[in-house]
Amino acid sequence: MTGIDDLPIRDELRGKSPYGAPQLDVPVRLNTNENPYPLPEPLVERIAERVREAARDLNRYPDRDAVQLRTGLAEYLTKSGGYPLGIENVWAANGSNEVIQQLLQTFGGPGRTAIGFEPSYSMHALIARGTGTGWISGPRNEDFTIDLAAAERAIAEHEPDVVFVTTPNNPTGNAVPAETVLALYEAAQAAKPSMVIVDEAYIEFSHGASLLPLLEGRPHLVISRTMSKAFGAAGLRLGYLAAHPAVVDAVQLVRLPYHLSAVTQATALAALEHTDTLLGYVEQLKAERDRLVAELRAIGYEVTESDANFVQFGRFADAHTAWRKILDRGVLVRDNGVPGWLRVSAGTPQENDAFLDAVRQVKKELG
C-alpha cells in the first residue's frame, strides 16, 4: 500500500498532519468560532436571487477583479472603520486563509521568514510552511499579551520578511493595543523593512476599534478581514484585505486568475446588503461572550480577557482530560494545545447555558 511517505513529497511536509478541528456530531458545537446564528431568511432569499442571476452567466469566467464586491467591501470598511478606503485598497479571496496565502506567496517564500507571537492562529505557521516560508515563533507574556521588548529583539535578530499580529488574538481572545502594533511596525521597518500583517478576523467583536486608520502613511501594513465570523458566513469562504494600493497590485502577481467564483461574488454582495442585520447578531454575541467570561469566573475558572467571539478558560492540570469530560456532556469546545487552557466559542444563549452546566459539573469533578 502506498502511503504519503512513499510519495516524493517535499521534505518539510513529511510526517505532518493537515489542519483541522474535529467535526463531531454532538448537540452543542462551540469549537470553531463560528457564528451560531443561521443567515436570516430575507438574506437567504436575496442570495438565491443573486446566485440565479449569476448562474445565467456561468458559461463565462467571473469578474477577475471582483470590482463590485471590492467596492462594497471598501464601503463597509470606510463606514465601520472610520477611515476612507477605495476599491484600490481592497482585495478579496476565498477566506482570509487564502488572503494570507497570497500575501505569503508575494512577500514570503523560499529563503524568507515570517514571525508570529504564539500561541496564535496556527494557520499562519502552516501557510508559511505551505509556501516554503521559514517560521519563527515569537514570545508572549504569561498573561498572553505580546512581550513587546522580546518581540522587538526577535525582529531585530531574525529580520523576518513578514510579521503577523492577530488582534483580537486566537485562541487567547485578547486584543493587541494600537501602540504595540505601531511599535512592532517600527521595529519591522528598522530591521528589513518587512510587511506587517494584522489579522483582524474577529475585530467586529472587539471592545476597541479596528486598526484601519493606521494604514495612513504605512505602505508595509496589511489588515486582513473575513466574512466568516461577524457576517456569519463561514461557509461562503470570503476573506479580504485592506492596504496600500501597491500591496493590492502586488498580490495580483500570485493570485490565480478567476480565483473568486461568480457564485461567491454574488453571495458576498447579497450578504453585504444585509450588513446591518448581521452586525445586530454581533451585538448579541458580544453580550453572550461577556456573560461567558463573568460566569466562568464565578464558577472559579481563570479567563483571558476577550475581545473576540470566544473565550479562553482554564487552568486545567490536563486540558485534554477536561476537554473530553466536557465532550462527554454533549458540548464540543476546542483544545488548541495551549497547556492548561481550553477555548469556547460564544453560541446562542441556550448553547452557552448547556456549556456552563457542563463546565460547572467538570469543575466539581476535577476541582
| C-beta of 127 vs 266, nearer to ligand PMP | 127
If binding is defined by CB under 6 A, does position 264 make contact with ligand PMP?
A: no
Could you tell me how many residues of this chain bind ligand PMP (CB under 6 A)? Answer: 13
Among 105, 106, 166, 345, binds ligand PMP (CB under 6 A): 166
If binding is defined by CB under 6 A, does position 96 make contact with ligand PMP?
A: yes
Among 161, 199, 204, 307, binds ligand PMP (CB under 6 A): 199
Residue 299 exposed, middle or buried by CB count within 10 Å (0-12, 13-18, 19+): middle
| C-beta of 121 vs 144, nearer to ligand PMP | 121
Which residue shows C-alpha cell 474577529? 202
Count Cα atoms within 13 angstroms, Cβ side, for 215: 26
If binding is defined by CB under 6 A, does position 304 make contact with ligand PMP?
A: no
**In the complex, least distance from residue 343 CB atom to ligand PMP, rounded to whole angstroms:** 10
If binding is defined by CB under 6 A, does position 188 make contact with ligand PMP?
A: no
| C-beta of 323 vs 362, nearer to ligand PMP | 323
Under 8 Å CB-to-CB from 290, ≥6 apart: which residues?
A: none
If binding is defined by CB under 6 A, does position 119 make contact with ligand PMP?
A: no
| C-beta of 74 vs 201, nearer to ligand PMP | 201
Element at 240 (helix H, strand E): strand 239-243
| C-beta of 281 vs 295, nearer to ligand PMP | 281
| C-beta of 3 vs 20, nearer to ligand PMP | 20
Give me the 27-56 binding string for ligand PMP, x by CB under 6 A, dash otherwise.
------x-----------------------
Buried b (16+ CB within 10 A) or exposed e, 119-157: bbbebbbbbbebbebbbbebebeeebbbbbeebbebbee
If binding is defined by CB under 6 A, does position 232 make contact with ligand PMP?
A: no
If binding is defined by CB under 6 A, does position 118 make contact with ligand PMP?
A: no
Count Cα atoms within 13 angstroms, Cβ side, for 266: 19
| C-beta of 47 vs 230, nearer to ligand PMP | 230
Whether the Cβ atoms of residue 179 and residue 148 lie closer than 8 Å to each other:
no
If binding is defined by CB under 6 A, does position 204 make contact with ligand PMP?
A: no
Among 95, 116, 119, 314, binds ligand PMP (CB under 6 A): 95
User: What dihedral do alpha carbons 336, 341, 344, 345 form, nearest 10°?
Assistant: -60
Q: What is the DSSP letter of 256?
A: P
d(CA 78, CA 98): 23
d(CA 137, CA 150): 12
d(CA 120, CA 116): 7
- Residues forming the site for ligand PMP (CB under 6 A): 33, 95-97, 121, 166, 170, 199, 201, 226, 228, 234, 239
